A and B are shown apart, each in its own frame.
Chain A
Amino acid sequence: MQNLIRFFRMYNVLIIFLLLQTYSINLYLNNNSFQNSLFINHVNNYKGELYSISNNISEYFNLKDINKQLLEENNKLYNLLSSQKSIFLQNEKETKFISGKIVNNSVNKRDNFITLNKGKKHGVSAGMGVICESGVLGIVHSTTKNYSLIISILNKESAISISLKRQNNFGSLKWNGFNYKKANIESIPNHVKIQLGDTIITNGYSTIFPAGINIGTIEDFKKNDKTGNQDITINLFTDFNNIKYAYIVNSEQSKEQINLEDLIND
């Protein structure tokens, strides 16, 4: 017994270190894989409130920028109004938008998330798409009563179905983790002739986003013989470091499409 006590006395620092380090590695492994982010989810509710307090203060400093963004948005809406007939032709699916304010955002990590101040109470549910006036932001991951957590495009788990504007070939959008102004496109085969500067838009196949929302322009492409697909780099239209408001896409008819397509799986 005395030997045991002496052992603990001698190595007490090492024992504390090992205990705490095991606990933090355990936290790292359990919470950073995407499906198991239960803890973050739980803390999110309280954190959302904390951030909205700090946001209320910092809002005043950004009023000038916000005014500018609103003006641009207004302009766009006026343009849409004046060409109303063509809108109905483009969007066959009826969609509603829920607007919300961004209370927390990051661009410098490998996995970035955005927190919005709209939640279950306002009709948001997991899996809905999120856009802003300049392009696509991401997909809703989880919601609490008043807040929702969004996986932004700048996350290794996000993959958004896109197509080229001129050629209609489709692929998926990925982010490699370094520059928040650029992203990559996968699974466009080598034989497709790509033009520099071509616009990337969402395709309407998935039920998450309406078709034809701008994402970015092609900056560079290279043929890759190993995979048979081209390595494409694009410039994103959205400046993720400077977004204040977002719109959640809630399309009623998409539920009908999902139900229909589920019939095949059964």
Chain B
Amino acid sequence: MIKEIKYIILLPLFLFVQIYILNEVMFASYINPYLYLIILFVMPFKTQKWFLLIYAFILGLSVDIFSETLGMHSSACLIIALLKQSITKITIPHNIIEENDELISQKIGVKSFILFTSILVFIHHSILFVLEHASIDFRILLKIILSTIISSIIITICQFFFFRV
């Protein structure tokens, strides 16, 4: 329960960074990195699922309200929260982690952290951009792939600084 309180305190902090700093930064004129996903990723393996879902919804909705994209971030975050446990089972060797460990690279290894992060970021960005443009074509696919690469790099770097054992 103490870990869960820690994440509730972290939420406004990452929200602030996302809205006031990262939403103003753009690579190659239309790629916007989404760092706020990092709190969903590092949450311990055995968090209560209902807590993860409600947390993801509140996180997505607050990003939505501040960037005028109601419903897009929140539905993408909810799907990530639902898929997270099954994807961690596939990508991370299950004998390494204990139930209350945070999923950070010092615990699970850099290689599997990057794999696990980029799969989840790819799912999130696909849902987000398809909802935003309301269509699918080659340029949107390119935007999804480029954004996934940049968001994953930034999440991996930040994880070294903000989350330690």
Contact check, A13 vs B69: say whether CB atoms are below 8 A apart. Answer: no
CA distance A13 to B51 in the complex (A): 9
Contact check, B54 vs A25: say whether CB atoms are below 8 A apart. Answer: no
Taking the complex as formed, is B67 at the interface, i.e. its CB lies under 8 A from any CB of chain A?
yes
Distance in angstroms from A49 CB to nearest chain B CB is 13
Q: Assuming A27-B74, A28-B131, is B67 touching A17 (CB within 8 A)?
A: no
Contact check, B49 vs A13: say whether CB atoms are below 8 A apart. Answer: yes
Distance in angstroms from A210 CB to nearest chain B CB is 29
Contact check, A181 vs B50: say whether CB atoms are below 8 A apart. Answer: no
Chain A contact residues: over half helix, strand or loop, or mixed? helix
Q: In the complex, how many residues of chain B place their beta carbon closer than 8 angstroms to a beta carbon of chain A?
A: 35
Taking the complex as formed, is A74 at the interface, i.e. its CB lies under 8 A from any CB of chain B?
no
Q: Which A210-233 residues have a C-beta within 8 angstroms of B?
A: none
CB neighbours (8 Å) of A181 from chain B are 29
Contact check, B61 vs A24: say whether CB atoms are below 8 A apart. Answer: yes
Contact check, B75 vs A113: say whether CB atoms are below 8 A apart. Answer: no
Taking the complex as formed, is A178 at the interface, i.e. its CB lies under 8 A from any CB of chain B?
yes
Q: Which B61-85 residues have a C-beta within 8 angstroms of A?
A: 61, 64-72, 74-75, 78-79, 81-82
CB neighbours (8 Å) of A32 from chain B are 69-72
CA distance A4 to B23 in the complex (A): 46
CA distance A177 to B68 in the complex (A): 16
Size bin of chain A's contact surface: 20 to 34
Q: Which B7-23 residues have a C-beta within 8 angstroms of A?
A: 20, 23
Contact check, A108 vs B70: say whether CB atoms are below 8 A apart. Answer: no
Contact check, B54 vs A177: say whether CB atoms are below 8 A apart. Answer: no
CB neighbours (8 Å) of B94 from chain A are none
Contact check, A27 vs B139: say whether CB atoms are below 8 A apart. Answer: no
Contact check, B68 vs A113: say whether CB atoms are below 8 A apart. Answer: yes
Annotate B12-43 by CB proximity to A: 1 below 8 A, 0 otherwise.
00000000100100100111100000000000
CB neighbours (8 Å) of A113 from chain B are 68
Taking the complex as formed, is A195 at the interface, i.e. its CB lies under 8 A from any CB of chain B?
no
CA distance A26 to B78 in the complex (A): 14
Taking the complex as formed, is A31 at the interface, i.e. its CB lies under 8 A from any CB of chain B?
yes
Contact check, A108 vs B32: say whether CB atoms are below 8 A apart. Answer: yes
* Contact among A24, A107, A177, A178 for B78, CB-based, below 8 A: A24
CB neighbours (8 Å) of B50 from chain A are 12-13, 16
CB neighbours (8 Å) of A40 from chain B are 68, 70
Contact check, A178 vs B139: say whether CB atoms are below 8 A apart. Answer: yes
CA distance A106 to B131 in the complex (A): 18
Most central of A24, A47, A108 by chain B CB within 10 Å: A24
Taking the complex as formed, is A39 at the interface, i.e. its CB lies under 8 A from any CB of chain B?
yes
Taking the complex as formed, is B150 at the interface, i.e. its CB lies under 8 A from any CB of chain A?
no
CA distance A125 to B49 in the complex (A): 48
Contact check, B54 vs A16: say whether CB atoms are below 8 A apart. Answer: yes
CB neighbours (8 Å) of B132 from chain A are 109-110
Q: Which B130-149 residues have a C-beta within 8 angstroms of A?
A: 131-134, 139, 143
CB neighbours (8 Å) of A25 from chain B are 71, 75
CA distance A180 to B32 in the complex (A): 14
Q: Assuming A108-B26, A178-B139, is B71 touching A20 (CB within 8 A)?
A: no
Contact check, A43 vs B65: say whether CB atoms are below 8 A apart. Answer: yes
CA distance A29 to B134 in the complex (A): 11
Contact check, B30 vs A178: say whether CB atoms are below 8 A apart. Answer: yes
Annotate B74-114 by CB proximity to A: 1 below 8 A, 0 otherwise.
11001101100000000000000000000000000000000
* Contact among B20, B57, B71, B79 for A28, CB-based, below 8 A: B71
Q: Assuming A20-B54, A110-B132, is B72 touching A28 (CB within 8 A)?
A: yes
Most central of A12, A13, A54, A107 by chain B CB within 10 Å: A13
Instruction: Give me 5 A-to-B residue pairs in the complex whose CB atoms sit less than 8 angstroms apart, sorted by A's number.
Output: A20-B74, A28-B71, A29-B71, A106-B67, A108-B31
4 closest A-B pairs by CB: A28-B71, A27-B71, A24-B74, A31-B70
